[in-house]
Amino acid sequence: MWSSTRPGDAPRPRSRYLTTSHTRACTIESHPPLEHWFAAGGDHRLIENPQTGLTPYRASLRPRNTAQFGSCTASSPGPRGWAAGQHALKHCQASDEGIRETAEQTRMELRNVMEIPAEIAVAMAPSGTDILYLVSHIALQGVDSVHHVVVGANELGGGTLKACRGLTFSAMTPFGGDDEVGRPIAGLAERCTAEAIYLREAAGQRLDTDAVDAQVEQRVDELVTDGKRIILHMVVHSKTGLRAPSALVAARLRQRHGDKLMVLVDAAQGRLAPSDIRRALKLGFVVMFTGSKFYSGPPFSGVLFLPTHLSADPGPLVPELSKWFDQASLPGSWVSARESLSEKHNQGLALRWTAAMAEFNAYHAILPRWRGRVYATFAGAIHETFGPPDIIDLEIPLPPVHQLVTALGAFPTVFGFRVRGPDGWFDAPQLKSLHAMLDTDLSHEDPRWGGVYHLGQPVALGPPDGERRAFLRVALGARLITDFGRTPNAGGPWMREQMSGIRTKVETLVRTGRMQP
């Protein structure tokens, strides 16, 4: 069994290899372990808590013995990804060229798995949120300013709106060290603005999808003007599985407004089939994707697919973006963009993507019909175990409404639920405490609390000024599908056992007063 710590281990401190100066110094002369490289070239979300040995999302940077149902937030690396990372680490430690080759290998494998044509540009980034800086830079070509219309903003990455506005979203940058959250990035902040369109009412109820489509279409039509490019964020799977606007509306708007509109498909959850990615690219949409959500790679790794008309070298990046991007992660044809960056490569990102690709390849080696059995088994185990509502109130996922829904996109793989205490529904801070308890062995207090379950972190729903209804989430990731895809029962008994354990632990923690509202 894999575990993040061993009995008697001291708490692990923040990795001393996180800073740029240390990663440069450690490339050849020393050989830090893989978990330190997984933390390098990222931001505060990769810093481990010295007491728990876990990141803020309760993921470890090495394999960990827990039921992994948190792929909608982050996953600890599994044995398969860990082994791939260890193998690649030896190649990277040999020379700087080895790191460049590792990054290029990822780009090639992504093309092969997704069947992406050669004319499509593929750019990698430390996370999905970081990608937004690159999207803004590309969209600014030939116009004075860009304006992001972020659909479902409250159910995307927490730094999304800041990044869209050209502001820093973390107190730490991949190559620049410590920073200040919300600081304007010169060259972006003065030219980038953003607004949110929400997918839920103030109390958290889902809005009608046709009404959202109408609102998006009307708002984009109002915003389009000369000298400004609109970036419409089309979320194909939010933190709780919502999707909007529809592909029909996005395509109609793009046909109406041409180059004044860029459609960005936010597939950061990774819950979009390769065939749907290709269809989005044929429609002229830009696609943002990650290997660290559904595909269960170590946190974090992002990639941007650019359709043919946007695949050319976007020219030198604004100087400050050297704190986020490196030469090897950008397409080889982007000569000017690469030359504008001071960092040759991002060792941590290259290794995180290598681990993610091991999960990609293993998942796609399973026949689609076998994968479908696991999807159905997972959903069945949740419905069978979590209902009817008492302390736990399950939100039933809506069927997808847009056209990017073949295969993976058509299956519900994230289920959100509320938790009721003696004085009402738990809010996000209370659910955060419960989230940590579920992920901790508390059998020394009660034998019913011995299970360790890593769920998706709490998400507050609705506009920021609303009642902020909040959910915990149970998510199915590629790793579990790979592990159970070839078994006769598709993992059914194990999944029902885990869901029953989650329900029992939640209910007894609440009823006994151990989890105070």
pLDDT tens-digit map of 91-133: 888 777 888 899 999 999 999 999 999 999 999 999 999 999 9
- Measured between alpha carbons, how far is 467 from 465 in angstroms, rounded to an integer? 7
Q: What's the whole-model pTM score? A: 0.92
pLDDT recorded at residue 400: 67
- Whether a cis peptide bond, with omega within 30° of 0, leads into 56 is no
For residue 120 the two structure tokens come to 């499509």
Closest CA to 289 of 147, 169, 175, 409: 409
pLDDT recorded at residue 462: 77
Distance of CA 354 to the CA centre of its chain: 16
Angle at 452 between CA 429 and CA 34, to 5 degrees: 95
| Per-residue pLDDT tens listing for the chain (517 residues) | 233 333 333 333 344 344 443 444 344 345 789 999 999 999 999 999 999 999 999 999 999 999 999 999 999 999 999 999 999 998 888 777 888 899 999 999 999 999 999 999 999 999 999 999 999 999 999 999 999 999 999 888 889 999 999 999 999 999 978 899 999 999 999 999 999 999 998 888 899 999 999 999 999 999 999 999 999 999 999 999 999 999 999 999 999 999 999 999 999 999 999 999 999 999 999 999 999 999 999 999 999 999 999 999 999 999 999 999 999 999 999 999 999 999 999 999 999 999 999 999 999 999 999 999 999 999 999 999 997 778 999 998 877 666 666 666 678 999 999 999 988 999 999 999 999 999 999 999 999 999 999 999 999 887 877 666 899 999 999 999 999 999 999 999 999 999 999 999 999 999 998 976 5
3-state secondary structure 140-191: CCCCCEEEEEEECHHHCCCCHHHHHCCECCCCEECCCEECCCCCECCCCCCC
- Phi and psi dihedrals of 149, rounded to 5? -105, 105
pLDDT recorded at residue 176: 78
CA distances from 379 to 258, 267, 294, 369, 394 (A): 41, 21, 15, 16, 12
pLDDT recorded at residue 2: 33
For residue 270 the two structure tokens come to 């990774």
pLDDT recorded at residue 9: 35
pLDDT recorded at residue 93: 80
pLDDT tens-digit map of 242-277: 999 999 999 999 999 999 999 999 999 999 999 999
pLDDT recorded at residue 409: 67
pLDDT recorded at residue 397: 86
pLDDT recorded at residue 507: 94
For residue 424 the two structure tokens come to 């009402």
pLDDT recorded at residue 407: 65
DSSP assignments along 50-118, one per residue: TTTS--TTS--SS---SEEE-TTT--PPPHHHHHHHHHHHHHHHH-HHHHHHHHHHHHHHHHHHHT--T
- Per the CB < 8 A criterion, the answer to whether 3 and 65 are in contact is yes
Cβ neighbours for 267, distance < 8 A, ≥ 6 positions apart: 236, 237, 277, 287, 288, 289, 290
According to DSSP, the β-strands at 453-460 and 67-69 are parallel
Length of the chain: 517
pLDDT recorded at residue 109: 94
Cβ neighbours for 95, distance < 8 A, ≥ 6 positions apart: 28
Q: Is 83 exposed, middle or buried (0-12, 13-18, 19+ CB in 10 A)?
A: middle
